[in-house]
Chains A and B, each alone.
Chain A
Amino acid sequence: MSGLRLIPWLRTIFQRSPAEREMDVELRFHLDAFAEDLMRRGVPRDEAIRRARVEFGGIENFKEECRDARGANVFESLWQDLRFALRMLRKSPVFTTVAVLTLALGIGANTAIFSIVDAVLLRSLAYPDPNQLVLMFAVPLKQPDALSGISYRDFTEYHEHNRVFSEMAGNAFHDLTLTGAGEPSIVNTGDVTPEIFPLLKAKPLQGRTLLPEDGKPGAVPVAVLSEDLWRSRFGSSPALIGKSITLDMRSFTVVGILPESFRYPDGAPHQDVWIPIAQDPLFGPRISQPGVPVMSGIGRLKPGVSLAQAQAEMNTLSARLAKEFPETDSGLTIRIEPYRQFVVGNVKSALLILLGAVGLVLLIACANIANLLLSRATSREKEIAVRIALGAGRARVVRQLLTESALLGLLGGFAGLLLAIMAVRSLRSFIPPDVALIGSIEVGGSVLAFALLLSLAAVLAFGLAPAFLAAPSNMQTNIKEGGERTGQRSGQRVRNFLAVVEISLAMVLLVAGGLLMRSFALVTSVNPGFDPKNVIEAEVSLPRFQYSMPKQWTAFSSELLDRLHEQPGLQDSALAAPLPMDRQGQASLEFSIVGDIPTPPGKTTTADYQTVSPDYFRVMRIPLQRGRYFSVQDSPSSPNVTIISEAMARRYFPNQDPIGREMRFGFPPNSNVPREIVGVVGDVRDLALGRKPGPIMYVPFSQAPLWGGEVVVRSSLSTSSVTAGIRQAVYAIDKNLPVTNVESFPNAIGASVAQERFRTFLLSSFSGIALILAAVGIFGVISYSTSQRTHEIGIRMALGAQRRSVLRLILGQGAKLAVLGVGAGAGAAFLLTRLMASLLYGVSATDPLTFSAVAMGLLGVALLACYIPARRATRIDPTVALRYE
């Protein structure tokens, strides 16, 4: 209703101008003076007034000429048009409300989605000149997609010798443990070379960023904190600069605070601390090792240098390095990726499809409005004919009608904008973190411009046709016949066409929404290969300064598990790294099978790798297919063993028994250790629910320990008591150890499909809107044509037609349109849905079930929409109908 309440307000703005008022007074004076003269000559008063008017001539016509003569005041006549348009809109509130709401839905949905697209794809990243930023990875020449890190030595070479980057830096990410400031906690740490701050043009909030000498090995360890950490853990104390904090039991001097606005990389978890990579407990020791990859690079292209030039330069440099250091660098090159593409790459296609979908919604909304306006224009033919007869120019009438459409468009655009602001506000919490990559999403200036453009485009699209159709060709017949017969045929044809278009567009959207919904249902109901119900996960991570030896990791894990097993309700607990659907992804390792022909060089076989405690399979309910599970007997001193997944057995040991065979794999330096296959377990979807399970190799945690892992507990206890139990067990061993990311497994899985859920939700809402709009559209067409046929139906009924046959007549007319629309829509959907094939899981883009279900549903809704006017038609009283007109 906001649109309607707006009208009185607008009216005060568009007051009559003084010139208009003066003209009225002047002409009135003339008429009165003439009438008085006539009366003085004895003409009766009424007759005098009548004659004064007749002899004066068409007063509106002359007023119009006066306005032109006064100097063609465009604005004034525009105001006049606007005032008139407002009056007309207010006179038919139902029409206005439906039209404004329809437009608001179309424009609102578009604006909301555009805000998201704008934030993610269009708005510049948070750094100056983001298009100059590129990321760099080492890749084998033969496998340009196998991205890996660059060794520190190579980075130094590229940094020194390239001529394409104005600045170049290295970065890696690592979780460190912050102690001594409240509860121990994990802090996301960016390990960087100091050039990254000038490269990203980052200004510190307090203190300074890193200096080149901070980056040298052996320098005093320093750290830059994020504003967030500074506020939450150190109470925003300015005195923190120069003080030291403890990361992984090592002291770092705080030199600066980075403002909240500094976020790098976009889309990744927010970094709490930045330290020179040379000071990192994990990567620091590696920078002196020549061939060991430690970090990825980021560079800022010099102005005018193209991507291709930069890539060519890196190819030349890496060829030189390969010659210089053949044992580490042969066969390697550097691959350059535009930073923006890297950040937005994975959500782009989904967003573009959503944008296309809202575009269709807007088209349907426009078709609906066009239909409404057309019906209205037809019923106003008489009024318009009268206006032309009174001297309004044809162009003037068209302009008036256009003004009305424009006003509607603007009102709709305004309401749509309000709707968009509300939608974005409520969607924001619903947007998965990896979609809302860059900055915050809001309805900003460019979005506003977009909405305005949309409503203007919509106005032109739906305003012009009715305006021209409504300027009648033969005004005499229009006045005589009251505009009820002429133009009806062609008008009806256009309206029918629009209704068919609406239904077919709705069909396309509904099919797309239906496919996504089916796919989402399939994804979420798929068996992941384990039973996540009642399982709680928690992360425990050991600071590497304190726990540097693998022996300590093994000891810690067995003590932790012992303590957990002692607690009632926590007996079903195990340790694993990583878990399926881990946020940090899965570790993939190369392997070779002992006794098989070695794979040709350049081709490698890889499988996902998980290190697990003996009870893991039992806790997760991963079934044993063959052989045995791990046991406590699989210790560091006993022979190395492994368990493989069914998919791995099928692919690499076809028609053989893998039990007893040996494979070589492991993290360096154990990559060549032979491990005997002792069991085969069921497949697990470890990457994503929608991804087919791949080969997985499991090793006992005691034989391949890590400095931490995920505790999984299957328990009927509440999450909070399980969490308390885990905390208690961990703190009993070391009270400085953080327990983080506690979550129920079903929730974690839910988070892993957040993107799918988000786009399914959006697209289904759009199809819902489309369905409503299409139903309103066909309802409008059928009820309008029924009202026009009142006379005819009356005659039919007077001649003995049954109510049932009248019902069938009207329904048949609607059904014809619905079938045409559904048919055309199915054809279009058949061509269009393949664009979204990559978003679908388990259903084909032309899934017959979805197509037929949607078609039936849409036909049903369309017929229901026609039933209301059809019922009304059967209630027509023939005697009334025949007297009509």
Chain B
Amino acid sequence: MEKQLDLLQGTLDMLILKAVSLGPLHGYGVLLRIQQISQDRLEIQQGSLYPALYRLEHQGWIESEWGESENKRKAKYYHLTSAGKRRLQSETEKWNRMADVIAGILGSRPKEI
């Protein structure tokens, strides 16, 4: 249970950074954006978005300000900081490298070892 959560958390952070890199979003908007890009293939516990948002903001990768939502309600909008931009880049590279390595390992056949 714990390990799965960790993995999810790390991934979730990256997804959130990616989502807000495309433009300021409120929490619910982040959820919709991720679902939209992933074409609903990812199952995200809605509530778990917020601790992640708070953590990213605390680390200085995103910033928030209060604004008005599309239905005229007060909402908190998050956007990427420049540090967050760099972070997203490095995380993406790291993820890609890791995915390559793991794919390589998993795709290997007995002969090749």
Chain A interface residues (CB < 8 Å from chain B): 22-23, 25-27, 29-30, 32-34, 36, 55-59, 61-62, 65-66, 68-71
Contact = CB atoms under 8 A, between A and B. Distances in A.
A62 B27 contact: no
Contacts of B73: 29, 32-33
A29 B69 CA distance: 10
A391 to B, nearest CB: 10
A33 B29 CA distance: 9
A36 B51 CA distance: 23
Nearest to B27: A30
B47 A59 contact: yes
Interface in B46-62: 46-48, 50-52, 54-55, 57-58
A65 to B, nearest CB: 4
7 closest residue pairs by CB, A with B: A65-B51, A57-B47, A69-B54, A62-B47, A69-B55, A33-B28, A56-B46
B85 interface: no
Interface string B58-102: 100000000001010111100000000000000000000000000
A380 to B, nearest CB: 26
Contacts of B31: 30
A62 B48 contact: yes
A119 B73 CA distance: 66
A29 B48 contact: no
B45 interface: yes
Given A22-B76, A29-B26, A66-B54, A57 B71 contact: no
B46 A30 contact: yes
A810 B57 CA distance: 61
Given A58-B47, A66-B50, A69-B58, 6 more contacts: A29-B73, A30-B27, A56-B47, A59-B47, A65-B48, A69-B51
Nearest to B75: A29
Contacts of A26: 26-27, 50, 75-76
- Which of the listed residues A27, A30, A36, A58 has the most CB atoms from chain B within 10 Å of its own CB? A30
Contacts of B69: 29, 33
Contacts of A36: 71
A619 B50 CA distance: 97
Contacts of A71: 58
Nearest to A65: B51
Contacts of A33: 28, 69, 71, 73
A56 B26 CA distance: 15
A68 B51 contact: yes
Interface SS of chain A: helix, strand, loop or mixed? helix
Interface string B29-47: 0010000000000000111
Contacts of A62: 47-48, 50-51
Given A25-B74, A26-B76, A36-B71, A70 B54 contact: yes
A57 B5 CA distance: 15
Given A55-B46, A56-B47, A71-B58, A34 B76 contact: no
B47 A61 contact: yes
A62 B51 CA distance: 6
Given A69-B54, A70-B58, A29 B47 contact: no
7 contacts: A26-B50, A29-B69, A34-B28, A66-B54, A68-B51, A69-B58, A70-B57
Nearest to B74: A25
A23 B27 CA distance: 11
Contacts of A65: 48, 50-51, 54
A50 to B, nearest CB: 14
Contacts of A27: 50
B83 to A, nearest CB: 17
Contacts of A69: 51-52, 54-55, 58
Contacts, number: 63
Contacts of A25: 74, 76
Interface of B: 26-28, 31, 45-48, 50-52, 54-55, 57-58, 69, 71, 73-76
A33 B76 CA distance: 13
B28 A29 contact: yes
A22 B21 CA distance: 23
Nearest to B44: A55
A66 B28 contact: no
A35 to B, nearest CB: 11
A671 to B, nearest CB: 94
B91 to A, nearest CB: 18
A396 to B, nearest CB: 15
Contacts of A29: 26-28, 69, 73-76
B55 to A, nearest CB: 4
A65 B76 CA distance: 18
B85 to A, nearest CB: 21
Contacts of A32: 73
A26 B50 CA distance: 9
A55 B35 CA distance: 14
Give the residue among B48, B51, B55, B71 with the most A Cβ atoms within 10 A: B51
A34 B75 CA distance: 13
B46 A57 contact: yes
A692 to B, nearest CB: 80
Contacts of B26: 26, 29-30
Nearest to A22: B76
Residue among A32, A62, A70 with the most chain B CB within 10 A? A62
A290 B69 CA distance: 107
B75 to A, nearest CB: 5
Nearest to A58: B47
Question: Which of B28, B58, B75 has the most A CB atoms < 10 Å from its CB?
Answer: B28
A308 B58 CA distance: 66
Contacts of B46: 30, 34, 55-57
B13 to A, nearest CB: 11
Contacts of A58: 47
Contacts of B45: 57
A68 B9 CA distance: 15
B75 A66 contact: no
Contact of B51 (A22, A30, A56, A66): A66
A53 to B, nearest CB: 10
B84 to A, nearest CB: 16
B70 to A, nearest CB: 9
A57 B48 contact: yes
Contacts of A30: 26-28, 31, 46, 50
A25 B68 CA distance: 13
A61 B47 CA distance: 9
B59 to A, nearest CB: 9
A34 B52 CA distance: 19
A766 B55 CA distance: 56
B5 to A, nearest CB: 11
A18 to B, nearest CB: 12
A22 B57 CA distance: 14
Contacts of A34: 28, 46
Contacts of A66: 50-51, 54
Contacts of B52: 69
A57 to B, nearest CB: 4
A34 B69 CA distance: 13
B4 to A, nearest CB: 15
Contacts of B27: 26, 29-30
B51 to A, nearest CB: 4
